[in-house]
Amino acid sequence: MNLQYPSRLLEKAVNEFSKLPGIGSKTSLRLMLHLLRQDMNSVEQLSQAIYNLRHDIKYCNTCHNISDTDICPICSDIRRDRTVICVVENIQDIMAIENTRQYNGLYHVLGGIISPMDGIGPSDIEIESLTERVGNDSEIKEIILALSPTMEGDTTGFYISRKLSQFNVRLSVIARGISIGNELEYTDEVTLGRSIINRTPFEHKQ
Amino acid sequence: MNLQYPSRLLEKAVNEFSKLPGIGSKTSLRLMLHLLRQDMNSVEQLSQAIYNLRHDIKYCNTCHNISDTDICPICSDIRRDRTVICVVENIQDIMAIENTRQYNGLYHVLGGIISPMDGIGPSDIEIESLTERVGNDSEIKEIILALSPTMEGDTTGFYISRKLSQFNVRLSVIARGISIGNELEYTDEVTLGRSIINRTPFEHKQ
C-alpha cells in the first residue's frame, strides 16, 4: 500500500510501528489512529514504558534472564533449589516453565540456539558462561536441557552435553511424548515412537 | 495467561502495549522482547514517534482531517477543486480515496457515524460544521456522500441530506454495485439488485 499521509507525524509513527514483526502498515495505521483517540496520559505511559524497557532493563549476571536488577529474582530467591539448572533458549521459555509451577530450580538462558543455517554458532550463545557456571559452583548436581525438539535444539543439546562431560553433573532432557489431551491417532509418528520407547511405569495418579 | 514476569519494566511495557486493540498479552510480550533486541536508537525513535504523534497532531480547522498544521495539506492545496466536498466518516477513508487518484476535490471528516446503538447522535459528529461550511462558502457546488453502505451510513447520509436541503448544492452518493473482480454469483442479492437498478450505459472502456 502506497498511502499518502495527511501528516508527517502520523507517517513517522506508522512507519516506526510497522517495523515491529507481524505489524503491517495497515494495522499500524489503525493502531496509531486509535492512539490519537486516547487521552494524552495513556499514550505517554505507553511511550515511556517502551523507552524505559529498552533503556533500563538488565540481564541477570548469573543466568542471563532479563531483570530489573543485576541478579534476577529467580537467582536471588533463597527458597529455590540451587542444585539444578534448567537450560532454555530464551526468556519466554522461563516464563512458560515458571507458569507450570512444577520447577523450583535455577535457569540458564542461552539467548539463542545453534543454527548453522542462520549463522549462529556455539560462541554466539551463552554456552561458555554455562560451562564456567557449572565449573565454579560445586553445589550444582543436575543440568536439565529444556530445548525445543528440533534439529537445532538437538544440536545445541549435544554440544552442551560434550562441554559438560568434564564435570560431575547429571544431564537430563525434558520428556518428549504425546501431548496431554491430544488424540493418539493425530500424534506424529516420531513422537509416538519415542513415547513408546520412553514409556514410564503406570501409576494410578499421573 | 497469568504470567510471572521476571522484570517489572517488562511487565509494565507488555501491559501498556496490550491495551492496543487486537494485541493480546502473548503478542505484546513477543514484541517487547523483540524491542529488547533492537538498538537503543530505534526503540527511542518508536517511543518518540508515538509521543509526538499524540502530542503535536492537529486537526484541520476546515475539514477535520488530521494535519501537522492548522489547515491540512488538502485544504491548502490551490490545485484542488474547491467546488466539491466529499463527506467521509474518518481519516482512513480520505487516505483510501486519495489512493485511487480519482478525486481532486476537498473533504469533510465527520469523525464518526450516527449510531443510536452506540449512543452516537448527529451532534456528536461534525455535521453542524459541514452545514456551516456549505452555508458560508458559495463556491461549493456539490457534496458527495462517501459513507459505508450500512444502516448507520444510510441514516447519517439521510440526516445530512435534510440539513443541506436549504442550500443550493447538488448532493450525490458514491456508486454502489458489484465489486470489480468479484464473481457475480457470490455478490449479495441487495448489492446485485441495486447494481441492476442503477445500471449505467455500456462503454467500451469502463
The predicted-structure confidence for B79-98, as pLDDT tens digits, reads as follows: 999 999 999 999 989 988 88
Instruction: Please give the full DSSP string across B54-111, using - where no structure is assigned.
Output: HHH-EE-TTT--EESSSS-TTTT-TTS-TTEEEEESSHHHHHHHHHHT---SEEEE-S
d(CA B33, CA A45): 18
Are A66 and A60 within 8 A, CB to CB?
yes
CATH 3.60.150.10 holds for A8-56: no
Q: What is the pLDDT of residue A181?
A: 77
Q: What is the pLDDT of residue B2?
A: 55
pLDDT at B3 exceeding the cut of 70: no
| Candidates A3, A44, A51, partner chain B, best to mutate (most B CBs within 10 A) | A51
| Candidates B15, B37, B51, partner chain A, best to mutate (most A CBs within 10 A) | B51
DSSP A150: S
First to last CA, chain A: 54
Q: What band does A3 get if pLDDT is binned at 50, 70 and 90?
A: low
Cβ separation of A72 and B6 shorter than 8 Å?
Answer: yes
Angle, CA A96 vertex, CA A94 and CA A102 arms, to 5°:
90
Task: From chain A, pick out residues whose CB is under 8 angstroms from the CB of B15.
Answer: 49
DSSP A116: G
Which among B8, B31, B49 has CB closest to A16?
B49
Are A49 and B17 within 8 A, CB to CB?
yes
* Single-letter code of the amino acid located at B89: E
Of A84-98, B99-113, B134-148, B173-187, least confident by mean pLDDT is B173-187
Q: How distant is the Cα of B28 from the closest Cα of chain A, in angstroms?
A: 11
d(CA A83, CA A105): 7
Least Cα distance to A146 among A202, A98, A81 occurs for: A98
For the segment A89-100, the average pLDDT, to the nearest whole number, is: 89
Q: What is the pLDDT of residues A110-120, one digit of tens each?
A: 999 999 999 99
Locate the domains of chain B by residue range.
8-56, 66-174
d(CA A102, CA A175): 14
Tell me how crowded residue B131 is: count the other CB atoms within 10 A of its CB: 15
d(CA B10, CA B33): 8
Instruction: Please give the full DSSP string across B185-200, using - where no structure is assigned.
Output: GGS-HHHHHHHHHT--
Are A21 and B32 within 8 A, CB to CB?
no
pLDDT at B108 exceeding the cut of 70: yes
Class of domain B66-174: alpha beta
For the segment A51-78, the average pLDDT, to the nearest whole number, is: 94
pLDDT at A206 exceeding the cut of 50: no
Least Cα distance to A84 among A74, A96, A70 occurs for: A74
Helix, strand, coil share (%) of chain A residues, nearest 5: 45, 10, 45
Helix, strand, coil share (%) of chain B residues, nearest 5: 45, 10, 45
CATH number of this structure's domain A80-174: 3.40.1360.10
Q: What band does B206 get if pLDDT is binned at 50, 70 and 90?
A: very low
